[in-house]
């Protein structure tokens, strides 16, 4: 049979609000035209993020009841540790309450003024933690990875020539680690090939620089490798994931994505001395090494989530749901980043609203109008999130202006996707009415979370 069905059935429901356009206009005005400020009870379909928004399974809810809340040596931690080590193979598994906590610990030790951290593309909190340490975060995507209109496999890859040039220019002593984000979130949820990961490791080895994976969507990346990379079509998701991690010296993870849970994260590595330093910072800032800022019941849910995420039937449904979403929009002429990635569709705001220059935030204008049209929350990934100013105050735009609609795992049905696509298409058909925006107030770091906007 050709019809793809969800590999689960619904056991419990959560009511969602149905509001009017005029109500949503007021809600957005009160939220300073920033979707982060919206109250969740005013959001009909929430695609702000896929982080921590998963619908947990009955087995995960059952596991919560078995949580051992001991402060130290909890049996729930050892279940979590075994689950993560089974996939990654790393010696030290350090739990944190979420991914940015892992990043903060890593870069409080490995960051610092004068240091440079390359990545295929850093996402927002990774970049924020690097820059907070006064180190420099450098993105090295391939040229095709910044072309949203061009479809190609593995657009999330690292540009190896650019990486080598950066190392030669900066000096290996100033690059404590190199990172690869799988899948490449800022680059449109695009996967990274196994060949690219192994070649990156080979290049780094020649300079003695460790490789770390930002692995929050490792299972989705593994599925893409199985589907698209020669030689992996007959391998299991677990085998592919293990090979991927075998090329790395460490990893950070927001387990709120492919951990299929509502909270949690970890640092994983093999270096004994570095692990002890990280555990010390963990104890000072997060909690003891066998809970890391998490309730132990959450470790139970994560241990089960890491088992469930390896299910190929689930991953097929997950990737195909996002593709279905993208296909609806493409059929209506809506400009997207293609091909669709693992966890979200990304509107190409430059082509969607060409009359709005990057310094007037076309992606933010689109996100606001889609909310007003259908009560759907999304997030801008462009000049708001990553734009900067030069010494003369002139706007420096990132390579792409995107609007991300991240699909929560196991949450929305086909009709929810249809409804969301319909709202986006309506905004696109009236796109000439989209208005320029400006920032009325912003924080000095990670401004997109709390910035306040006005229409020009």
Which of helix, strand or coil describes residue 274? helix
- 234 with 228: CB under 8 angstroms? no
| Residue 249 confidence (pLDDT) | 98
Res 1 pLDDT > 80: no
Q: Residue 410: name the closest of 301, 257, 289 by CA.
A: 257
| Residue 13 confidence (pLDDT) | 95
Question: Model confidence over 232-267: pLDDT tens digits?
Answer: 999 999 999 999 999 999 999 999 999 999 999 999
Question: Model confidence over 178-194: pLDDT tens digits?
Answer: 999 999 999 999 999 99
- Over residues 420-438, mean pLDDT: 98
Q: Residue 191: name the closest of 160, 164, 228 by CA.
A: 228
pLDDT band at 4 (very low <50, low <70, confident <90, very high): confident
Percentage, residues of the chain above pLDDT 90 = 97
| Residue 393 confidence (pLDDT) | 87
Give the CA distances from residue 124 to residues 206, 254, 275, 303, 323, in Å, rounded to whole numbers and listed in that order.
29, 13, 25, 27, 24
What CA–CA distance (Å, rounded) separates 421 from 423?
5
Helices (H) and strands (E) in the chain, counts: 16, 16
Q: How far is CA 269 from the centre of its chain?
A: 21
What CA–CA distance (Å, rounded) separates 148 from 192?
16
Q: How far is CA 357 from the centre of its chain?
A: 26
In degrees rounded to 5, what are phi and psi of residue 152?
-160, 155
Give the CA distances from residue 203 to residues 140, 156, 243, 360, 443, in Å, rounded to whole numbers and listed in that order.
14, 18, 17, 40, 38
Q: Which two tokens stand for residue 44?
A: 């009909």
By residue count, the chain amounts to 456
| Residue 69 confidence (pLDDT) | 98
What CA–CA distance (Å, rounded) separates 452 from 443?
10
For the chain, the average pLDDT equals 97
Q: Which residues pair with 386 in a beta bridge?
A: none
| Residue 78 confidence (pLDDT) | 98
- Over residues 355-366, mean pLDDT: 98
| Residue 2 confidence (pLDDT) | 78
- Over residues 112-141, mean pLDDT: 96
- Over residues 404-420, mean pLDDT: 98
Q: Which two tokens stand for residue 368?
A: 């606001």
Res 230 pLDDT > 90: yes
pTM for this entry: 0.96
Q: Residue 349: name the closest of 362, 361, 331, 340 by CA.
A: 362
Question: Model confidence over 207-226: pLDDT tens digits?
Answer: 999 999 999 999 999 999 99
Res 149 pLDDT > 90: yes
Domains of the chain by start residue, with CATH:
21-50+311-455 (3.90.1150.10), 58-308 (3.40.640.10)
- Over residues 415-427, mean pLDDT: 98
What CA–CA distance (Å, rounded) separates 49 from 244?
25
| Residue 72 confidence (pLDDT) | 97
- 46 with 408: CB under 8 angstroms? yes
| Residue 3 confidence (pLDDT) | 83
Question: Model confidence over 310-334: pLDDT tens digits?
Answer: 999 999 999 999 999 999 999 999 9
Q: DSSP class of residue 389?
A: E
DSSP string across 184-232: BTTTTSB---HHHHHHHHHHHHHHT--EEEE-TTHHHHHHHHHHHSTT-
Question: Model confidence over 154-183: pLDDT tens digits?
Answer: 999 999 999 999 999 999 999 999 999 999
| Residue 159 confidence (pLDDT) | 98
């Amino acid at each position: 049979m050709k019809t793809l069905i969800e590999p689960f059935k619904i056991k419990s429901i959560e009511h969602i609000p149905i509001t009017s356009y005029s109500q949503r206009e007021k809600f957005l005005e009160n939220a300073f035209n920033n979707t982060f400020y919206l109250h969740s009870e005013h959001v009909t379909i929430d695609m702000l993020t896929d982080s921590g928004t998963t619908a947990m399974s009955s087995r995960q809810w059952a596991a919560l009841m078995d949580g051992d809340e001991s402060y130290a040596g909890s049996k729930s931690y050892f279940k979590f540790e075994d689950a993560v080590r089974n996939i990654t193979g790393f010696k030290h598994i350090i739990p944190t309450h979420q991914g940015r906590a892992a990043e903060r610990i890593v870069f409080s030790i490995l960051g610092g003024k004068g240091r440079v951290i390359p990545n295929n593309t850093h996402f927002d909190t990774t970049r924020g933690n690097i820059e907070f340490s006064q180190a420099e975060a450098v993105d090295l995507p391939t040229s095709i990875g910044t072309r949203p209109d061009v479809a190609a496999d593995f657009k999330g890859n690292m540009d190896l020539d650019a990486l080598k040039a950066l190392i030669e220019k900066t000096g290996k002593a100033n690059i404590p680690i190199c990172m690869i984000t799988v899948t490449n979130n800022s680059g449109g949820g695009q996967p990274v090939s196994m060949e690219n990961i192994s070649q990156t490791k080979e290049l780094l080895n020649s300079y003695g620089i460790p490789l770390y994976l930002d692995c929050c969507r490792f299972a989705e990346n593994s599925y893409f490798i199985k589907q698209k990379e020669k030689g992996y079509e007959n391998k299991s998701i677990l085998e592919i994931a293990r090979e991927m991690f075998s090329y790395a010296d460490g990893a950070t993870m927001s387990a709120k994505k492919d951990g299929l849970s509502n909270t949690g994260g970890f640092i994983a590595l093999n270096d004994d001395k570095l692990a002890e330093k990280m555990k010390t910072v963990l104890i000072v800032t997060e909690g003891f090494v066998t809970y890391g800022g998490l309730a132990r019941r959450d470790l139970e849910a994560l241990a089960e989530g890491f088992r469930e995420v390896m299910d190929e039937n689930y991953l097929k449904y997950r990737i195909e749901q996002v593709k279905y979403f993208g296909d609806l929009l493409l059929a209506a002429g809506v400009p997207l980043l293609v091909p669709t990635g693992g966890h979200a569709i990304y509107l190409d705001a430059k082509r969607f609203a060409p009359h709005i220059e990057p310094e007037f935030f076309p992606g933010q204008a689109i996100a606001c109008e889609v909310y007003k049209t259908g009560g759907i929350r999304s997030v801008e990934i462009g000049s708001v999130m990553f734009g900067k100013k030069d010494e003369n105050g002139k706007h420096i735009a990132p390579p792409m202006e995107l609007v991300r609609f991240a699909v929560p795992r196991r949450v929305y049905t086909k009709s929810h996707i249809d409804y969301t696509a319909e709202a986006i298409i309506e905004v696109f058909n009236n796109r000439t009415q989209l208005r320029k925006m400006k920032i009325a107030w912003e924080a000095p770091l990670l401004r997109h979370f709390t910035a306040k906007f006005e229409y020009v």
